[in-house]
Structure 1
């Protein structure tokens, strides 16, 4: 059983939901990212999504776009991201899912990437622009190394397509709570709950919800019906505002702690 599957199974036994924070690797630099990854674990993250910075994102709003630019300007590379994960893995078993776009992985080389990611201790990969029909040159290498290729579902995904994607899902399904880009507007928990309950009815893996979850209140509302709650832009915004400040760790810790308390209070 993978670390992701073990984590969700444990949470289910405990009657708890997963907190899945996202941050952009290399924002403002990889040394800071490494420290923040440890901090996220300490404050109760169950799974961590770590963004691979990319110059031409299609799903990320301004906050994460700016974080990617800062990371690229600081010299962050995919090889450097994997080295960071490898160092962090020596101190934690918390699952780490790399999230981004296919181009950096393709340039790295699909087989070489899968081998290096496994060595580093990566547990999952979520590529926004890689549909399952085109994953054949990468997914077999990931499966050989027990790295889950996480699938996205959107509000606009047709019902039959949802069932098709869920049938082949690995790790967890990531349900995008709204159309548009990350951090673009407020969520509607009531409407999302209907969609998630339907998906959970035919999904063989847990369902996590992300996009637009900006506060502990949002996280608590989503935790009432989802298996996991993904928080990205709100956390990345804090890092962008305090990245050069000595109180960065304190600000991040306080926010993640509040998210944890909100989810656990459901």
Structure 2
């Protein structure tokens, strides 16, 4: 069985008695060079796994901060090939696993085989695909098996037990555990549904469950890591980069990771 770079990092953090901090930023925001510097700053300030979003014209799952950032990246002329350039440049500077978060249509248009080869060649670790389920992902499952890339599917509170078992069986790296229904964005409270969903995923056989959507403070990160293997922060980091640049983002990451 292919070893997962993402899984290895999460397991190391668990062995240390703490979970993994996972960050999300869109590639190309506010521009390509700055997005690379921003990702490196996250890795240098306590982030364990980098999740880079592929800007998309119809981001149905994203909240206002991420939508605004991705639209700016697109208006600046982002091209899908820029994603591989960014991953390669980031991996040349920091030894942190990088996964791409993308809706399926860009991968389909680019070609799943070509996408997998280019992501692997750039040093990427895998793909998070929020809008496809394992039973509709035969092409990606085959390509990820061929290349050894992780495939990270989403589990939601509304998922049936049968669906959770299917997601667990198909995922490699971790299962992306959606803390609440709806779009992304910082929330005052992370829904209690996340704790229940992680428990259900454990019952379904999940080795690693990481919680995302709505996590924005160090306190929420700590709360989530009491029961999950990783906490995913997105909108709060995007807003921090928009408001304070790379230096502000680095301070936010340090606070989230406990490196104040």
**TM-score bin (small chain):** over 0.9
Deviation at 1:145, TM superposition (A): 0.9
Matched, 1:41 2:43: yes
Q: Residue 137 of structure 1: SS of its match in structure 2? A: helix
Aligned to 2:5: 3
Deviation at 1:74, TM superposition (A): 1.1
Conservation of the 8 A alpha-carbon contact between 1:3 and 1:93: no
Conservation of the 8 A alpha-carbon contact between 1:189 and 1:221: no
Aligned to 2:79: 77
Conservation of the 8 A alpha-carbon contact between 2:190 and 2:215: no
2:16 to 10, 14, 17: 14
Deviation at 1:137, TM superposition (A): 2.0
User: TM-score, normalization: structure 1?
Assistant: 0.92
The aligned runs of 1:112-151 (5 Å cut-off) are 112-151=114-153
1:92-129 deviation per Cα after TM superposition (whole angstroms, max 9, x unaligned): 22111100211111111111111111000110101111
Tell me the distance in 1 between the aligned counterparts of 2:6 and 2:186. Answer: 28
Deviates more, 1:184-193 or 1:17-26: 184-193
Count of aligned pairs between the two proteins: 258
Tell me the distance in 1 between the aligned counterparts of 2:188 and 2:155. Answer: 19
Deviation at 1:184, TM superposition (A): 6.3
Deviation at 1:2, TM superposition (A): 2.2
Tell me the distance in 1 between the aligned counterparts of 2:239 and 2:196. Answer: 29
Matched, 1:222 2:224: yes
In structure 2, relative to structure 1, the CA distance for the partners of 1:203 and 1:93 (3 Å cut) is: farther
Tell me the distance in 2 between the aligned counterparts of 1:40 and 1:185. Answer: 21
2:248 to 248, 251, 258: 251
Matched, 1:161 2:163: yes
Deviation at 1:186, TM superposition (A): 3.6
Deviation at 1:210, TM superposition (A): 0.4
Tell me the distance in 1 between the aligned counterparts of 2:114 and 2:171. Answer: 23
Deviation at 1:220, TM superposition (A): 1.2
Conservation of the 8 A alpha-carbon contact between 2:134 and 2:166: no
Unpaired runs of at least 5, structure 1: 243-247
1:42-87 deviation per Cα after TM superposition (whole angstroms, max 9, x unaligned): 1011111000000011111111111110010111111011111112
User: TM-score, normalization: structure 2?
Assistant: 0.94
Conservation of the 8 A alpha-carbon contact between 1:97 and 1:126: yes
Conservation of the 8 A alpha-carbon contact between 1:170 and 1:205: no
Aligned to 1:89: 91
Tell me the distance in 1 between the aligned counterparts of 2:127 and 2:54. Answer: 10
Q: Residue 176 of structure 2: SS of its match in structure 1? A: strand
